[in-house]
């Protein structure tokens, strides 16, 4: 089927990969960017982007899509729809499905279902170890051949340092990054929130920041030792930010991400006993929150990722200590980030867009995140001035466990375009 020639007219084009921030036109032909600037080509569809921001398609490098195994919580199709609704044209899904993405066929299966869904690009992340058990390495080469863009046992920390060492070495042979869920289980134990004054007052078992920071430190040492590329997932503490910053100064091949709930919410939210504030790592203190924002500003933290983790209402509607960890974020990440980081002046628009486009694309090694001529026409068009209230009941995700439900935000994706296919959003 022939693809439309599309003209996006008069928008503020923000492409950090090419250091572009100006009002101009974008012309799409054959599913690719043909030209930026005034064009003489005949378009079959014109999108008036006056007063809107046009960016490369947003990339979320950390989502859980639950298929196969827990399709009642999310599927690749519903997760794809949620991504599109949130302005994300590409997402990378973690391997902790049932069975996990730990072999070539399971990685190919993700691509097959994503193609059937016909929405966002879905890139699989392969398990570092078989069954995500932390014992025996997966077939890294075969997973790469099947399309895995990175490797992680996310949800399960790799406690054995020798296994992590070998994972870094083997992944580097295929120019891939290992994404580390940093948690020392002997320290976190059965904790359900940040360890400190609030957990003591509430009578809930705490997770000390050291549980994260000990593993961050170990993995940075192993990355330096092996020369491998390590990415620290969902950084939550000031100590972790400092460790990553110092490692970067030493030349360690490290990148890091933060989730919106960690730079927006603190442990004080848990006083409500609302299980939608239970996640791993847990919400920390105001001091940690400010350190995360500083890390975003100075480049220590490279990417913003949702850590989209769907759970059914039945699972979450229990006592806080018995609820599963995780919150959804595909449809709230962009507006919350714009509201908390851009509108407050912590990040410029270009800095924020970089952490949602070219930076995660670079970490994953995927050919996305730019509006350069010839690039795949993955584009997000955003109304950064639109004020609205997040309503999880209207989300495209199958699950409703959003910690920002009812929150007033500013900024919304109004178009998502995937390889020239236009999705006009509400």
Catalytic (active-site) positions: 307
65, 51 Cβ separation under 8 angstroms: no
Q: Which residue has the tokens 């003591």?
A: 200
- Beta pairing partners, 380: 55, 416
Which one, of 90, 84, 88, 163, lies nearest residue 128 by Cα?
163
Query: Each residue of 346-382: b (16+ CB within 10 Å) or e?
Result: ebebebbbbbbbbbbbbbbebebbbbeeebbbbbbbb
Distance CA 199, CA 269 (A): 11
Q: Which residue has the tokens 């040492």?
A: 221
Residue 386's Cα: distance from chain center in Å?
23
């Amino acid at each position: 089927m022939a693809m439309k020639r599309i003209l996006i007219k008069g928008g503020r084009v923000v492409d950090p990969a090419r250091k572009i921030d100006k009002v101009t036109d974008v012309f799409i032909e054959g599913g690719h960017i043909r030209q930026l600037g005034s064009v003489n080509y005949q378009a079959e569809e014109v999108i008036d982007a006056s007063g809107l921001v046009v960016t490369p398609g947003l990339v979320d490098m950390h989502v859980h899509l639950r298929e196969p195994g827990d399709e009642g919580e999310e599927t690749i199709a519903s997760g794809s729809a949620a991504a599109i609704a949130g302005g994300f044209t590409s997402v990378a899904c973690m391997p902790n499905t049932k069975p996990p993405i730990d072999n070539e066929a399971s990685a190919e299966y993700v691509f097959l279902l994503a193609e059937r869904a016909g929405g966002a690009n879905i890139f699989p992340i392969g398990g570092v170890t078989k069954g995500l058990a932390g014992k025996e390495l997966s077939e890294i080469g075969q997973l790469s051949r099947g399309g895995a863009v990175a490797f992680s046992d996310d949800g399960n920390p790799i406690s054995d340092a020798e296994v992590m060492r070998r994972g870094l070495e083997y992944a580097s042979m295929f120019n891939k990054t290992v994404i580390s869920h940093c948690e020392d289980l002997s320290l976190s134990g059965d904790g359900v929130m940040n360890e400190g004054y609030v957990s003591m007052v509430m009578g809930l078992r705490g997770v000390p920041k050291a549980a994260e920071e000990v593993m961050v430190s170990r993995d940075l040492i192993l990355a330096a030792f092996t020369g491998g590329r390590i990415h620290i997932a969902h950084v939550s503490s000031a100590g972790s930010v400092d460790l990553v910053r110092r490692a970067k100064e030493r030349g360690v091949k490290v990148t890091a991400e933060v989730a919106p709930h960690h730079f927006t919410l603190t442990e004080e939210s848990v006083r409500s006993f609302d299980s939608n504030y239970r996640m791993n790592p847990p919400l920390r203190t105001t001091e940690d929150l400010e350190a995360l924002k500083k890390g975003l500003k100075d480049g220590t933290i490279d990417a913003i990722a949702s850590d989209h983790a769907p759970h059914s209402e039945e699972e979450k509607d229990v006592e806080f200590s018995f609820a599963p960890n995780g919150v959804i974020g595909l449809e709230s990440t962009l507006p919350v980030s714009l509201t908390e980081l851009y509108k407050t002046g912590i990040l410029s628009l270009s800095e924020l867009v970089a952490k949602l486009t070219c930076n995660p694309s670079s970490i994953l090694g995927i050919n996305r995140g730019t509006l350069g001529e010839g690039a795949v026409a993955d584009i997000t068009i955003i109304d950064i001035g639109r004020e609205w209230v997040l309503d999880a009941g209207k989300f495209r995700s199958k699950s409703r466990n959003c910690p920002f439900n009812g929150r007033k935000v500013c900024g919304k994706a109004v178009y998502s375009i995937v390889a020239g296919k236009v999705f006009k959003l509400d």
